[in-house]
Amino acid sequence: MTIVVGYSPSGQGRAALRAALRYAARHSEGMAIASHQYHDSERGVTAATEDEVRAELEQIGIECGDVTVHSSPERDIGEFLLSVVDEVDASLVVIGLRRKPPIGKLNLGASARRVVLGAPCPVLAVKDDPLSTKNPRF
């Protein structure tokens, strides 16, 4: 089976990537990284390339064994993640969430809600850790 992780180069994306790596190592599963679109101040709307994702994995200290990288020009992150889940027959989806103030914790973002409600497999939602966004070990 395969674990799908939603990734963008942010605290949330890195937290999701680290959690997915831990789970994949523990359960000997492959990973499919869904590199979704985000807004970059210099490049505008873009997605991390396969080379950028693999560089992030190397920075964490992981060899890129059974990992595939998917990207799409689609702007709907939830739909894109669910399409990757269906394509690889995922056993788990890992997504990162933004930290929210206490009143905002009742609401998931639209994309996260779409994935949680639409995924045919379990969804692990992790929040970013602002103190360790560049942790060298997962």
88-125 pLDDT per residue, tens: 999 999 999 877 665 555 556 788 889 999 999 999 99
What gap in Å lies between CA 65 and CA 63, rounded to an integer? 6
pLDDT tier, 138 (very low <50, low <70, confident <90, very high otherwise): very low
What gap in Å lies between CA 32 and CA 8, rounded to an integer? 13
Q: Tokens representing 111? A: 């994309």
Strand 44-46 versus strand 67-71 pairing type: unpaired
Task: For Cα atoms 49, 80, 101, give the angle at the middle one, nearest 5 degrees.
Answer: 90
Domain ranges of the chain: 2-127
32-49 pLDDT per residue, tens: 999 887 777 787 777 888
First to last CA, the chain: 21
Quick one: 2-127 is in which CATH superfamily? HUPs (3.40.50.620)
